[in-house]
Chain A
Amino acid sequence: MNNSVGNTARLLGAGLRALLVLTIVCGVIYPLVVTGIAQVAFSDKANGSEIKSGGKVVGSELIGQTYNLPKKDPNNADEAAQPDLKWFQPRPSNGLGTNTLNTQYQLIISGATNLSGDNEKLIKQVKDAKDAVVKDNSTAGYQVNPADVPADAVTSSGSGLDPQISPAYAKIQVHRVAERNHLDVKQVEKLVTDNTSGRILGFMGEPGVSVLKLNIALKELTQK
């Protein structure tokens, strides 16, 4: 009996030593080496691909933002955000959360709605989003056809931080953005084309328009 207790203790000791050594190798040396290479060779990307506009950092190329009007009452948490239609609008992000733990911070918690295709709540969200896209983007001289509204315009992404919209959704917004900014439709169309990225090597991923880059370019154009 004593012998087997001793053997078990020896074995657990070996296991612990193995874990500690491998923690140093995989949990200290490995991440430090990768961080070293990353910070030397790709420091911009390793630190979040930040973009500047007018000399100030305005976010990351990779992280989606909202472009909403200021709240009428900043202290009212229930007030629904209204989109600032002067700017191109991103996809909905109904799955995003705020942190419930460690509330000394105000972190954005990435995430999806996880609603199923037959969920009444999702059906309503999609319907409402579609109505809003048609209403917001129709101008005096341009009527949005509901059939032209692409799926990404009315659904929330997986992360809630999707930096892109589809070229089709950008196209629908062109007339509205041109009108609100007193620009020519052609000028705005060109901005969209300039900020559209195709599939990598022609087949990887999907074409997309970076909303942040597009709005930065739009801002520069209106301030000229």
Chain B
Amino acid sequence: MSPVLAGVLQFLALAVALGLAYRPLGDYMARVYSSDKHLRVEKWIYKAIGANPSTEMRWPAYLRGVLAFSAVSVLFLYLMQRLQGSLPGSLGFVSIPADQAFNTAASFVANTNWQSYSGEQAMGHVVQTGGLAVQNFVSAAVGIAVAVALVRGFARSRTGELGNFWSDLVRGTVRILLPISVIGAVVLVACGAIQNFSGIHEVGQFMGGSQQWNGGAVASQEAIKELGTNGGGYFNANSAHPFENPNGFTNLFEIFLILVIPFALTRTFGKMVGSVKQGYAILATMVTIWVGFTALMMWTEFHHGGPAFDIAGGAMEGKENRFGVGGSSIFAVATTLTSTGAVDAFHSSFTGFGGGITMLGMQLGEIAPGGTGSGLYGMLIMAIIAVFIAGLMVGRTPEYLGKKIGTREIKFAACYILVTPALVLIFTAIAMAMPSTLTSMTNSGAHGFSEVLYAYSSGANNNGSAFAGLNANTPWFNTSIGLAMLLGRFVPMVFVLALAGSLAEQKPIPATAGTLRTEKPLFTGLLVGTVMIVAGLTYFPALALGPLAEGLAS
């Protein structure tokens, strides 16, 4: 079997597996966020929090919950790293310096998992397992909570109430993320991922002598790292490390974990707004982009344009033999079209166009299918932009799911889509103007610029992957990327929740003959076009200076 055919079959198998999980998981999540019942363990947690999970919140209260929880999380994770040197169970590792600790805390709370440190030499058991991995759960749960609040905004009328943040946070963690993670972690261990609490120990080598190994709760962190679209590796090599991702099956399994919740949330959305067809239209948009990007990636990576790859006879630099070009291409697209940022092959050594595809995936806003929760709300914002554009064409007030998209709503949506591009482009411009940036680059020319553009695209869009040649462990990069991650995560959330509140207050308007049918293929086509045009117009000049220049030259 040729590697290309094997790559295509792997993609098809993945699509089938995601298809099988779609309905049960989507329906289950809709029940989780609609049910009035609380599990016993949840009641115990609410008591400890001191919150009444049945209190309905309007959008400002919901937002205050999100921000308070996240602010406390940043501070807690920051202090944990600053105190690592004194914490027991840290392998004797020293405390993390202030700028890097801020960057890492912001990164994990913002669901980004950008890492300017190397896991195996910097973070001990306590910080990895008790700090970073915990944020893998709760930052994902926060993302889903905000998405569910927006869906409630569409589903409810004349109220303004969006649900209870504490209840959504706890349910997402306890009922969705934890059970799937346990299963996922056990599957990974069964295939060879490590799971122990050993200290650093000596292991013999074939040629004599020994090497030193880290132990760690790797499989348990790996499962939630993918499932929560987090992406922060236990080891520096992330999912390319054999202890995180031992073989061709685990590679596909990890991609499945990355994509399963974001795709299934479109079913949850359909269920909650009372029309699964509306969910299918959103799903179809995501799938179209995902399939298109994967096909392009496979083409350019198998084609292996670039002087070094021509001599080598294949683009295997930075790729593992057990995954090959096919498995690595599927992973790279899945991780950058979601907010994951885990890598099983190093994007900096992809072909020029391949690197461009990973960058564009993030710059679309990570909505195909996007991060846990953030993908759905990002795509719904684009849907609002799309009905607005359609409304302009025919001169009608646009409406979506029975809600009028008036001035207020379109202002919130427009602000949402401006935040991340502004962060990416402004920070990239400032960084490029600084002479010190040159010393951080590994590559020069177009690829050197790509390293910086990639870093801020990844940070502001909460991806976390990197053109890792860039030495980002400097006070400037740690601070500026840290700010980009926080602003890129929480400012859009403000607009999403404000929009949700505004929608929930409206009374529904009945569909008429003139209403744009948003569950039809025509709308899916319009939405795909809107997504590509908005991102294309925003980023084309920057992409032309980086990956396009490199790709066209090879």
Q: Mark A residues whose CB is within 8 Å of B.
A: 8, 11-23, 25-28, 30-31, 33-35, 37-39, 41-42, 45-50, 53, 56-68, 84, 87, 91, 95, 97, 99-102, 104-119, 122-123, 125-127, 130, 147, 149-152, 154-166, 199-206, 208, 212, 215-216
Q: Return the contact of B129 from the options A31, A49, A57, A205 (Cβ within 8 A).
A: A31
Q: How far is the CA of A106 from the CA of B213 in the complex (A)?
A: 9
- 20 pairs from A and B in contact (CB 8 Å cutoff): A18-B45, A21-B49, A22-B138, A31-B217, A35-B195, A38-B189, A41-B189, A47-B196, A49-B246, A59-B203, A65-B206, A65-B211, A101-B118, A102-B122, A110-B240, A113-B317, A116-B348, A116-B349, A117-B352, A151-B313
CB distance from B160 to the nearest CB of A (A): 19
Do residues A115 and B348 form an inter-chain contact, with CB atoms below 8 A?
yes
Residues of B within 8 A of A158 (CB): 237, 240, 318-320, 328, 343-346
Instruction: Please tell me if B92 contacts chain A, counting CB pairs below 8 Å.
Output: yes
Chain B residue at minimal CB-CB distance from A216: B206
Instruction: Flag if A14 contacts B51 (CB, 8 Å).
Output: yes
- B residues 232-250 near A (Cβ < 8 Å) are 235-237, 240-243, 246-249
* B336 contact set on A, CB distance < 8 A: none
**Chain B contact residues, CB within 8 Å of chain A:** 1, 3, 6, 9-10, 13, 45, 48-51, 64-65, 68-73, 76, 91-94, 118, 120-122, 129-131, 133-134, 137-138, 166, 169-170, 173-174, 178, 181-182, 185-186, 189-198, 200, 203-207, 211-215, 217, 219-221, 224, 235-237, 240-243, 246-249, 251-252, 304-309, 311-324, 326-328, 343-346, 348-349, 351-352, 355, 442-445, 447, 467-469, 550, 553-554
Chain A to chain B: the 9 pairs with minimum beta-carbon distance, closest first: A205-B248, A117-B306, A151-B314, A158-B240, A206-B324, A110-B237, A114-B469, A159-B237, A112-B346
User: Which of the residues A19, A58, A110, A113 comes within 8 Å of B204, measured between beta carbons?
Assistant: A58
Q: State whether A39 touches B212 (Cβ < 8 A).
A: no
* Closest B residue by C-beta to A91: B321
Given A26-B138, A204-B10, does the pair A110, B241 have CB atoms closer than 8 Å? yes
Distance in angstroms between the alpha carbons of A156 and B343 in the assembled complex: 16
Report the minimal beta-carbon distance from B106 to chain A, rounded to whole angstroms.
Answer: 15
> Across the interface, do B443 and A119 meet the contact criterion of CB distance under 8 Å?
yes
Q: How far is the CA of A76 from the CA of B326 in the complex (A)?
A: 41
Whether B205 pairs with A109 at a CB distance below 8 angstroms is: no
Asked if B195 and A39 make an inter-chain contact with CB atoms under 8 angstroms apart, the answer reads: yes
Task: Check if A34 sits within 8 Å of B49, measured CB to CB.
Answer: no
Verify B249–A204 contact, CB threshold 8 A.
Answer: yes
Chain A residues whose C-beta falls within 8 Å of the C-beta of B320 in the assembled complex: 157-159, 162, 164
Q: Are the CB atoms of A27 and B131 closer together than 8 Å? A: yes
Asked if B324 contacts A118 (CB within 8 A), the reply is no
CB of A166 within 8 A of CB of B321, answer: yes
Contact call B174/A11, Cβ cutoff below 8 A: no
Instruction: Please indicate the chain A residues that have their CB under 8 angstroms from the CB of B49 in the complex.
Output: 14, 17-18, 21
Q: Are A11 and B64 in contact, CB atoms less than 8 angstroms apart?
A: yes
Q: Is B443 touching A116 in the complex (CB atoms < 8 A)?
A: yes
Q: How far is the CA of A102 from the CA of B212 in the complex (A)?
A: 13
A12 and B68 in contact (CB under 8 A), knowing A100-B121, A118-B306? yes
Chain B nearest CB: distance from A62 CB in Å? 4
Instruction: Take A14-B166, A19-B138, A25-B178 as given contacts and tell me if A150 and B313 are in contact as well, using a CB distance cutoff of 8 Å.
Output: yes
Whether A39 touches B308, Cβ cut-off 8 Å, given contacts A22-B134, A159-B237, A160-B237, is: no
Question: From residue B190, how far is it (CB to closest CB) to chain A in Å?
Answer: 5
Contacts of A28 in B (CB 8 A): 130
Q: Measured between C-beta atoms, what is the minimum distance from A54 to chain B in Å?
A: 10
Known: A38-B186, A204-B249. A67 touches B219 (CB 8 A): no
